[in-house]
Amino acid sequence: MGCRVKRTVCSGFLIAGVLCVLPAVGHVALEQYLQQRVSAVVSPKNIDLTIEFTFTSAASLAERLAMDKDQNGKLSKDERRAYLDAIARKVEDAVTMAVDGVECAVIPLYDPELDLLGSRDLEEHPHTVRLYFFTRTPASFRKGSTILVDNALWADVPVLVAVTVKGAGGIRVVASQTQGLKHPSASSQTLRVLDAMCTERKEPNSKLGG
């Protein structure tokens, strides 16, 4: 597994950016929504996927209490690692990707990351979990190809989703119908968090000159 330099996330920016494109929130306060940022980079070789969960203060406290196995009010390094290990064990079945309707192997790219955002113990303070994956881009990937990602982690709570997709190496992709507020899955099992389509694929020139 590789090493990553952790990034500090300001949850307020995510809320502000998504609110610009949201319908009325209704009776559910934003504080009750788990924030889920989904990023995909599609190249001729790989599709890299990052899913970032930011727990708001009350939800974070519930996670922290569960993390504190010895109930001493402190989150030790071993407790934080056990929390991430438990998530890693769920990931294999929880996150699925299909390209043109065919399920692809979703492979962990780095170890899961936990960022307590400056508050290391039992406080009502947001925290973030980041998961990194990749899959090989199918040779048949072309203009009109679709990428769907479903996620079963924390699918039983309301979710505020923000999606970013980017193409590379002559590929262009756009996301549709995945950004905004999502209510819990009816079966509490899975949510569609990414629906993207390839709008252009330029093949590299195999020969230069005549």
Q: Is 4 contained in some domain?
A: no
How many whole angstroms separate alpha carbon 16 and alpha carbon 40?
21
* Range(s) of the domain holding residue 55: 30-201
Q: Is 101 contained in some domain?
A: yes
Q: Is 20 contained in some domain?
A: no
Of the two residues 165 and 181, the one the predictor is more confident about is 165
Q: Is 17 contained in some domain?
A: no
Share of the chain above pLDDT 90, in %: 64
Query: Within a 10 A sphere around the Cβ of 190, how many other Cβ atoms?
Result: 15
How many whole angstroms separate alpha carbon 75 and alpha carbon 135?
34
Q: Is 10 contained in some domain?
A: no
Cβ(197)–Cβ(173) under 8 Å? yes
Q: Is 37 contained in some domain?
A: yes
Give tens-digit pLDDT for 38-81.
999 999 999 999 999 999 998 999 999 999 999 999 999 999 99
Give tens-digit pLDDT for 98-139.
999 999 999 999 999 999 999 888 989 999 999 999 999 999
Cβ(58)–Cβ(29) under 8 Å? no
Of the two residues 123 and 30, the one the predictor is more confident about is 123
Q: Indicate the number of domains in the chain.
A: 1
Q: Is 97 contained in some domain?
A: yes
- Mean pLDDT score, 143-166: 93
Q: How far is CA 66 from the centre of its chain?
A: 22
Q: Is 21 contained in some domain?
A: no
The strand pair at 146-151 and 127-136 is best described as unpaired
Q: Which two tokens stand for residue 165?
A: 């997709």
Is the confidence at residue 20, as pLDDT, over 60?
Answer: no
Is the confidence at residue 2, as pLDDT, over 60?
Answer: no
How many whole angstroms separate alpha carbon 69 and alpha carbon 109?
28
